[in-house]
Amino acid sequence: MQKAVADAADVAAVPPVSLPTAVPTSTVFPVLFALSFCHLLNDMMQSLISALFPMIKADFHLDYAQVGMITLAFQLTASLLQPLVGTITDRKPMPYSLGVGMGSTLVGLVLLSQAHSYGALIFSAAMVGIGSAVFHPEASRVARSASGGRYGLAQSLFQVGGNAGQAIGPLAAAWIVLPHGQGAIAWFSATALLGMVVLFAVGNWYARRGLAARAKAKGAAVHASGQALSPATVGFAIFILVMLIFSKNVYSAALSSYYTFYLIDKFHMTVQSAQVMLFIYMASVALGTLLGGPFGDKLGRKTVMWVSILGVLPFTLALPYAGLWMTGVLTVIIGMVMSSAFPAILVYAQELLPGRVGMVAGIFFGFAFGLGGLGAAAMGKLADATSVDFVYHVTAFLPLIGVLTALLPNLSKHPGR
């Protein structure tokens, strides 16, 4: 109890950096909650972009392919930069860079609120992507440092903040931006400033505990049999994980980017009602993420991957044929089950590459954005050529890639590094 209070005080205070101390042996929940809260703010602001697509499409007279390119500009920027940022911070951790990432998101939002051309929209989205690239790798490292060995739980708590922010974004768009227009996007700059203050305090805790100065762990991933995995085996396993991320995030991008259009076109819903449905879907994603990490800690990462990727296939196949009420039910199931994979995938990859937490986070958060962006752009072109309904028929088969989970090695249950 005394340790938890001391850790909470560390987050709130801003004292000078002290000599390095040991990694916390128990989960530092105040730090994890602070990171989760800032992840909520960060992703809430980012999700405004996709939530406002119907308004932007109408105001700027865009087609679906151009809408997809806005998503691509945001997500591809993050995809290209995150692995680089993660690799750099593995060599030299930069805990105070967390606030810098939030600042880039702030700038992107202000520019978006004043954009009067398609090019300005693209540039604004790219600035938000840069903010994501800077924020995620180092935040993931701090979350692991504060986990006390409960890595799945720590990643779930960190990630669920982002999912909750993505769920709140559509509601903010429907209740604040849509009634007041594009300029109201700038109102969210206050939340970015709040996030920057909290992240400075988190960075101070990280530096004060001496964690940023610690040399990275060395060693190799170990098979359940006790034998160290070869570099070729590790590389192949990373490839499989990337394919699982591809399956999950292209489907998720197609669903989140075009779900409102699908509901409006197929069921003649109003924009506001469709945004509420999008919020319900995003909320189910947040719940699945929260459950995925602890289940991975207890049941094993591979088990969670099996269930969350391949197990969602019957529901994705049924979605294009469902009525309005059943569409809502199916999207909740799909969002909750499929999202539970990401914490398990991320922690499994960190165990494959010990000591490279930032690089792993950069690669997988980056691919999450980049593959999702490529998928959204491709699905936009397909929707222009056919229909949004046809897009959901095609993407329904993506969870079949989940069978590749069988090719992943079983890792030993060893203390985290």
Q: What is the pLDDT of residues 83-100, one digit of tens each?
A: 888 888 778 777 788 888
Is the pLDDT at 13 greater than 50? The verdict is no
Torsion sign over Cα 105, 120, 282, 367:
negative
393: number of Cβ within 10 Å: 15
**HSE (side-chain half, CA atoms, 13 Å) at 394:** 14
CATH number for the segment(s) 28-407: 1.20.1250.20
- Residue written as token pair 């070869």: 230
**369 contacts 129 by C-beta, under 8 angstroms:** yes
Torsion sign over Cα 130, 48, 322, 160:
positive
Residue 416 in 3-state DSSP?
coil
Is the pLDDT at 319 greater than 70? The verdict is yes
What Cα–Cα distance (Å) separates residue 205 from each residue in 23, 182, 211, 217, 382? Answer: 12, 38, 9, 20, 48
Max Cα–Cα distance, the chain, nearest Å: 62
> Residue 57 — pLDDT band, cuts 50, 70, 90?
confident
**HSE (side-chain half, CA atoms, 13 Å) at 90:** 21
Q: What is the CA radius of gyration of the chain?
A: 21
> What are the residue boundaries of the structural domains of the chain, listed by start?
28-407
- DSSP code per residue over 103-133: HHHHHHHHHHHH--SHHHHHHHHHHHHHHHH
- What is the rounded CA–CA span in Å between residue 233 and residue 30? 37
- Residue written as token pair 């989940």: 402
| Both tokens assigned to 239 | 């490839």
Report the mean per-residue pLDDT for the chain.
Answer: 80
- What is the rounded CA–CA span in Å between residue 107 and residue 51? 19
Q: What is the pLDDT of residues 300-317, one digit of tens each?
A: 788 888 888 888 999 999
**122 contacts 69 by C-beta, under 8 angstroms:** yes
- What is the rounded CA–CA span in Å between residue 69 and residue 83? 22
N residues, the chain:
417
pLDDT of 413 reads 58
> Residue 1 — pLDDT band, cuts 50, 70, 90?
very low
Is the pLDDT at 357 greater than 90? The verdict is no
> Residue 12 — pLDDT band, cuts 50, 70, 90?
very low
Is the pLDDT at 221 greater than 80? The verdict is no
DSSP state of 216: P
Is the pLDDT at 158 greater than 60? The verdict is yes
Q: What is the pLDDT of residues 242-290, one digit of tens each?
A: 888 888 888 887 887 788 888 998 898 988 888 888 888 888 888 888 8
Is the pLDDT at 191 greater than 70? The verdict is yes
